[in-house]
Amino acid sequence: MPNSRLLNTEVVNWNHQSLASRLVLPVRVAYDVNINIIRSALLKVARENHDVLKKPIPLVWFQGYGEDFLNFQSLVWISKPRKQFQIKSDLYFHIDKILRQENIYIPFPQRSLNLRSGSLPLELSPKLENSLFQLSESMIALLKSQLQTKNSSGANNQVAKSQDEKYNLE
């Protein structure tokens, strides 16, 4: 059918026998969730909403594994297509409430950054360079003092050990 005809004339859908309309609600959850718990939660939401028809029964489809999520679709039927946006919103509010009660998280996208070169061109302010230099000097001094303390206590322990051996022999 040409687009101009769709715009200029009334189109009658002869295949649509029922007043029921289907809503599709995509839901993504974190990988660590049991998929049966998600199915139960989504079906519970559908059953508890008075605008969702009992027949055809609501369905939950596990669509598969996404990049950082498990992908589900909740399919529900309604008799008031003009209220579809309000009904869908109500369902999503209820889904959010149930998922939070069950400690089920909607994942944030995660991205990895791989650098091919060995260094990044960074420009540091002179003040920051000076602060980093002072910090590194302080760390070097601290490590040297700890090493000297350890060495001197080790030497003292060696002298004491040799004196003990001397007296034990006599």
Q: What percent of the chain has pLDDT over 90?
A: 55
Average pLDDT by stretches of 10, the chain with 170 residues = 74 66 95 94 96 96 93 96 95 96 86 72 87 94 87 62 52
Residue ranges of domains in the chain: 17-101, 126-170
How far, in Å, CA of 132 to CA of 128, rounded?
A: 6
pLDDT at 159: 52
pLDDT at 108: 82
Identify whether the C-beta of residue 81 lies closer than 8 Å to the C-beta of residue 21: yes
pLDDT at 169: 46
- Residue 36: strand pairing partners: none
pLDDT at 160: 55
Specify the pTM.
0.57
pLDDT at 107: 86
Domain at 17-101, CATH from 1.10.1240.10, 3.40.50.720, 3.30.70.100, 3.40.640.10? 3.30.70.100
In terms of Cβ atoms closer than 10 Å to its own Cβ (0-12, 13-18, 19+), residue 110 is: exposed
Q: What is the DSSP letter of 106?
A: P
Give the closest residue to 22 by CA, choosing from 72, 56, 71.
56
How far, in Å, CA of 157 to CA of 151, rounded?
A: 10
